[in-house]
Amino acid sequence: MKYYVVDVFTEKTFSGNPAGICLLDEWQPDEVMQSIAMENNLSETAFLVKRGDHYDLRWFTPALEIDLCGHATMASGFILFNFVETSTSRISFHTQSGILVVEKDGDMLRMDLPSRPATKAPKYTSIGVALGTEQYEVFDSADILVVLDSEETVKQMQPNFEVLKNVKEEANKPDDSFGVIITAPGSDCDFVSRYFAPNAGVDEDPVTGRAHCVLTPYWSKRLNKTSMSARQLSKRGGYILCEDAGDRVKLGGKAVLYLEGTIIIYSSIMS
């Protein structure tokens, strides 16, 4: 199968968030796709199958399938625009999270995702222990949002990931496909964040589209503005344009190709 790696929310290779993209004629067995994602060892690998005028899209971490991944959706659009659907500027994907759209505007990609507003939650003890602070607020959505006091606190945070896994029981999360977002006001942008998902096999995700489905409505309400800029402060780092559009979130960014190749699966592996 054709395979690509794209660095997303960046203008240069070796930064942003790398996503693996697999183009399929038909779905492979789930265990094969999970094995490919584990072998790739990227935070997410996306699998695409064309269906008429749209693409079906699924995402796998090295450990499990998840219901929403922003950067791998944008990467999927980038690959299709550049290698497959070169005459179009708009592609829709059918996913577990509904219909998602990626549009191309020059070298900028814009993505339409569901908004995931968060509600006030208890200060789960395991979060404070894992992050080593008592100064935090917690909000709950599909992911857990932790609001900290400053950009520097977010930047310097060194979580205990084994302890952070315990938030699943404390927050009564039904499965492992969630993460913990930490955020604070930004110095050269509206807000900054980092994203940790040790339960899903990803200690820290470099730049996370799905996190901004939670962050965008939170900061839109707090800052009283609908258009914002954001940075994710992982080691690789990334820059995201965010728009609060009611029940939708619009995210913008750039992407660059890192790898183009072919995945070969011998029949003995699949038997």
- With a CB cutoff of 8 Å and minimum separation 6, the contacts of 205 are 17, 43, 179, 195, 196, 197, 211, 234
| Burial of 144 per CB tally in 10 Å (0-12, 13-18, 19+) | buried
CA dist list (Å): 170 to 30, 121, 154, 158, 203: 30, 11, 23, 21, 19
Helices 70-79 + 209-223 axis angle, to 10: 120
Token output for 107: 């070298």
Q: How many whole angstroms from its chain centre is CA 151?
A: 20
Q: Active-site residue numbers? A: 44
